[in-house]
Amino acid sequence: MSVKHLVQMKKISKGFPGVQALDQVDFDLEPGQVHGLVGENGAGKSTLIKILMGAYKADAGQILLDGEEVEIRNPIEAKRLKLGAVYQDITLAPELSVGENFFLGKLPRSLTGLVKWAKVHGETQTFLDELGIQVSSRSPVRRLSPAQQEMVTIAKIVYEGSRVVVFDEPTALLANEETEQLFDIIRRLRDAGTGIIYISHRLEEIFEICDTVTVLKDGRRVVTCPVEEIDSDTLVNRMVGRNLEDMFVRQTYQSAEDEVLLEVSALTRQPVFEDISFRVHRGEVFGLFGLVGSGRTEIVRSLFGAEKPDSGSVSVEGAAVHITTPAAGIRHGIGLVPENRKEAGLATGLAVDFNINLASYDNISRLGFIDGLAERRRADKYVKDLRIKTPTVRQAVKKLSGGNQQKVVISKWLCRQSKVFIFDEPTTGVDVGAKVEIYRLLDELLQRGAAIVFISSYLPEIMGIADRILVIREGRSMGLVERAQFSEERLLRLASGLEAEARTANSTA
Amino acid sequence: MVEKTKSESKPGSAGLGRRVIAALPKEATLILIFVVFCIVLSILTPRFFTVQNLRNLVRQTATIGVVSLGMTYVIISGGIDLSVGSVLAFAGISGALLMVGGTPIVLAVIVALALGALLGLVNGIAIHEGRVPPFVATLGMMTAARGLTMLVSGARMVTGLPRPFVQFAQITIVGLPALFFVWLLLIIASIMVTQFSRFGRNVFAIGSNREAARLSGINIRLNTYGVYMVSGFMAAVGGLMMTSRLANGVPTAGQMYELDAIAAAVVGGASLMGGEGTIIGTVVGAMIIATIRNGGNLLGVNPFVLQVLIGVLVVVAVMIDQMNKGRSE
Ligand SMILES: Nc1ncnc2c1ncn2[C@@H]1O[C@H](COP(=O)(O)OP(=O)(O)OP(=O)(O)O)[C@@H](O)[C@H]1O
Ligand SMILES: [Mg+2]
């Protein structure tokens, strides 16, 4: 059976100082195929893609397009060959409008040299509408939510008419609805004969959208097969090299009668959110659910002190936190794992050990000087506990894979021994094995008497991990749901405003 | 008490070894370049490798060397300080005026240093509270401090300094100028602070990612003040060293020093984007630049040509650094 290959990558190898990111990897893509690429954090998925896109140069190996060998020296060449990618990080110009981003570098001009803005925005808008993306072509990109930016990036790639489109963890920032929208777009592309490479840590997505799947482990290809021939457990086993038990490890769920650790009352910051109150008990995971852009992130940022609220109060173990700066929240034992780790969670140019200790240097210093051994010991401990994949603790964080970077942020607060942990989408871009480790860590934190506020747009996750869930819509509480009443439908109805159970929640929380 | 010192000294030494090794490649190349440079100069001119010339070279380099140390803190924090040359002059003149007016030397020195730190604090306040970009805030201070210097001195040299103060620059200890030891002391202190202190960690964190640093509980305000105060303080030390060396308070002293200090740090591997840089790198950077000047003078190279060369050196140093980074990424 001879299939016409769109892309063939043969025996691709790539080493970085200290790691062999890819070791003789073969990868094929056919027209109209949706090819899933899975593997643990640091397995080499992004590296393989970046080589195809000309962002990295392979040490060895060949790339064939339509059976002909090509050399893709830089991203511009990849673009010329009609290869497009949506990366893990957003790559739009934030100051420009959506339309300008669409036409970046090729704005249509009239004979007088003026930009034809009507054409730019007209075409962009038509295209966005056609894909069902509710964004105005004229709004500047920085005003859009991360999810909207992601959708715009996807639309732009589709607009450019690429023959191969790569999605590197596209759903990390998306809510259910948008994920569905994305899948529609992918199916459309597939039916038009485009080859699609789809990277994700959410395996059920692989089964839903892909027809073929390739597993990478430690830079080698483990298996390539049609998705019908493999089940979820086998896939995980192939990725991680062992079987994983239950995903959501919780020893016990809370009955919410214990001591209150965190109390938030009537927290308000106009116009983002209003009158938010809740209590989190020792040993409890308190979920905050809402559609992307509902104000969850802003609420936790304010209670942590990253942003000053207009009014309302926060207390930890009964002691009022004077919310002015993050330092105040941290002193009271609050730790925030932010959703945008590169901008807010990490000093990416600095080493792993530095970042792990970043919030705790006051604990390991005397007379202003650091205890270097303690610093090293703590870093080693968390690198080991969370299985952070790095050649040494002195490696700069920016050289780690996405999931490993996230583990470094979590380590920072573990290291600080916070009592109240706020996790804002903590498993974004984290592989299955590490996810289970993170859930297990949450459980361990709870056993040690911590309280956890957990934000996730991913329903199975938040339903699996939380004791109670407060649903937020447009900055207001829509209702507090107890574990016994959890159901996807209920939560989604509340989050989208179809069911109004509001107000009463505040008094009972 | 005994136990405390024990456990404190251990981590320091272990950490030092580790960090020195980790930092080796880049600094080692720089030192190598410097050594090659000295050898070439010794071959080209017999007058380079003489005790007299080296002593002179070290004495001259010490001043700009100290100023560059302060600049390194600022650059690592992601800022820039264009006011160091003027602060140097202001502190030097103030110290000189006080001494001539009869203030005890020690007191005059302390006041001059405090004034330097104070001007640094003003920079820090303008930058943090006023949200003025460091480039602009310190540019303003550069002009203002120079103006102040001219005002207090009437734009004239301050003469008649007390003997012991003037002699300090002439003293040698084990054959090396006392000024060199001032520099050395501050080098050691700065290595300790940048590598092993909390303040040092904070400066790196802020330079690398301000928002992440803030969300990790680092006090941006105090550390910003701290960085510019250190820079002002170092400039003031430089001002006193220069006043002692020139035996007079000179109101025009230190012009263009900000550029030499930035050049030293950048040649030494500091990144103007922040979060990157080492004291040792800056020290070697300062020595390389000073040696080019000195060797050029000895060889009778046109000083303007030298200026061109140094300009090229700065750009090439950054280019090589960028290329190295590009390869590993
Ligand atoms: N620029 C770089 N410099 C040094 N090492 C790198 C660099 N980029 C990637 N690596 C290393 O190469 C390996 C593969 O990384 P890659 O980003 O391809 O992983 P990934 O499979 O995409 O992981 P994730 O699921 O976490 O995104 C990792 O060990 C990573 O640390
Ligand atoms: Mg990746």
Residue A367 CB burial class (10 angstroms; 0-12, 13-18, ≥19): exposed
* CB distance A19 to ligand 1 below 6 Å: yes
- Structure confidence at residue B2 (pLDDT): 37
The more confident residue out of B297 and B124 is B124
B216 to A358: CB separation less than 8 angstroms, yes or no: yes
- Structure confidence at residue B329 (pLDDT): 44
A306 to B214: CB separation less than 8 angstroms, yes or no: yes
Task: Examine the pLDDT at A254 and tell me if it is beyond 70.
Answer: no
- Structure confidence at residue A244 (pLDDT): 63
Query: Rounded to 5 degrees, what are φ and ψ at A125?
Result: -60, -45
* Chain A residues inside the 8 Å CB shell of B212: 343-347, 358
Task: Examine the pLDDT at A503 and tell me if it is beyond 50.
Answer: no
Task: Examine the pLDDT at B308 and tell me if it is beyond 50.
Answer: yes
Task: Examine the pLDDT at B175 and tell me if it is beyond 90.
Answer: no
Mean pLDDT is lowest, of A178-192, A290-304, B25-39, B150-164, for: B25-39
Q: What is the mean pLDDT of residues A300-312?
A: 92
- pLDDT tens digits, A90-140: 678 888 899 998 888 778 888 888 888 888 899 999 989 988 888 899 989
* CB distance A399 to ligand 1 below 6 Å: yes
Say which residue the tokens 């009778």 belong to: B300
- Structure confidence at residue B67 (pLDDT): 98
- Structure confidence at residue A501 (pLDDT): 55
Query: Rounded to 5 degrees, what are φ and ψ at A103?
Result: -105, 20
Q: Which atom of ligand 1 is nearest to the CA of A42?
A: 19
- Structure confidence at residue B326 (pLDDT): 55
Domains of chain B by range and CATH?
53-328 (1.10.3470)
Task: Examine the pLDDT at B182 and tell me if it is beyond 50.
Answer: yes
Strands (E), A282-368: 285-289, 311-316, 319-321, 334-337, 365-366
Kindly provide the ipTM of the predicted complex, given to two decimals. 0.84
Q: What is the mean pLDDT of residues A384-410?
A: 88
A372 to B11: CB separation less than 8 angstroms, yes or no: yes
Name the residues around ion ligand 2, CB cutoff 5 A.
Answer: A 46, 402
Q: Could you tell me which of B133, B126, B109 has the C-alpha nearest to residue B239?
A: B109
Task: Examine the pLDDT at B7 and tell me if it is beyond 50.
Answer: no
Q: Could you tell me which of B232, B87, B98, B81 has the C-alpha nearest to residue B147?
A: B87
Q: Which of A197, A239, A390, A399 to mutate to test the pocket of ligand 1 (most atoms within 8 A of CB)?
A: A399
- Structure confidence at residue A151 (pLDDT): 86
Q: Could you tell me which of A330, A321, A381 has the C-alpha nearest to residue A356?
A: A381
- Structure confidence at residue B323 (pLDDT): 72
Mean pLDDT is lowest, of B136-150, B193-207, B290-304, for: B290-304
- Structure confidence at residue B11 (pLDDT): 36
- Structure confidence at residue A90 (pLDDT): 67
- Structure confidence at residue A316 (pLDDT): 93
Is residue A496 very low, low, confident or very high in pLDDT (cuts 50, 70, 90)?
confident
Average pLDDT over chain A, rounded to an integer: 87
- pLDDT tens digits, A358-375: 999 999 999 999 999 999
Which of A359, A366, A373 is nearest residue B14 as measured by Cβ atoms?
A: A373
* CB distance A50 to ligand 1 below 6 Å: no
Contact B294, B57 (CB under 8 A): yes
User: Please, how many CA atoms are within 13 Å of residue B25, restricted to the half-sphere of its CB?
Assistant: 3
Task: Examine the pLDDT at A498 and tell me if it is beyond 80.
Answer: no
- pLDDT tens digits, B253-271: 999 999 999 999 999 989 9
* CB distance A28 to ligand 1 below 6 Å: no
- pLDDT tens digits, B267-285: 998 999 999 999 999 999 9
Task: Examine the pLDDT at B17 and tell me if it is beyond 50.
Answer: no
Query: Rounded to 5 degrees, what are φ and ψ at A211?
Result: -105, -25
- pLDDT tens digits, A453-491: 999 888 888 998 999 999 999 899 999 999 888 888 889
- Mutation site for B-interface testing, chosen from A340, A350, A406, A417 by largest number of B Cβ within 10 Å: A350
Sheet holding A420-424, edge to edge: A334-337, A420-424, A451-455, A285-289, A468-473, A476-482
* CB distance A47 to ligand 1 below 6 Å: yes
Return the ∠ at Cα A198 (arms to A170 and A95), rounded to 5°: 30
Highest mean pLDDT pick, A235-244, A379-388, A412-421, B86-95: B86-95
Residue A270 CB burial class (10 angstroms; 0-12, 13-18, ≥19): exposed
Sheet holding A195-199, edge to edge: A83-86, A164-168, A195-199, A34-38, A212-217, A220-226
Task: Examine the pLDDT at B21 and tell me if it is beyond 70.
Answer: no
- pLDDT tens digits, A23-73: 999 999 999 999 999 998 889 999 999 999 999 999 999 999 999 999 999
The more confident residue out of A436 and A306 is A306
Which of A16, A326, A394 is nearest residue B215 as measured by Cβ atoms?
A: A326
The more confident residue out of A503 and A323 is A323
pLDDT > 70: percent of chain B: 91
Of all helices (H) and strands (E), which one includes residue B42? Answer: helix B2-44
- pLDDT tens digits, B48-92: 888 888 888 888 899 999 999 999 999 999 999 999 999 999 999
Q: What is the mean pLDDT of residues B11-35?
A: 61
- Structure confidence at residue A247 (pLDDT): 64
Encoded amino acid at B216, one letter: S
- pLDDT tens digits, A143-153: 888 778 888 88
Q: For chain A, how long is the longest CA-to-CA vector?
A: 73
Domains of chain A by range and CATH?
7-243 (3.40.50.300), 260-333+418-508 (3.40.50.300), 346-417 (no CATH)
Which of A325, A347, A372 is nearest residue B275 as measured by Cβ atoms?
A: A347
- Structure confidence at residue A310 (pLDDT): 93
Is residue A508 very low, low, confident or very high in pLDDT (cuts 50, 70, 90)?
very low
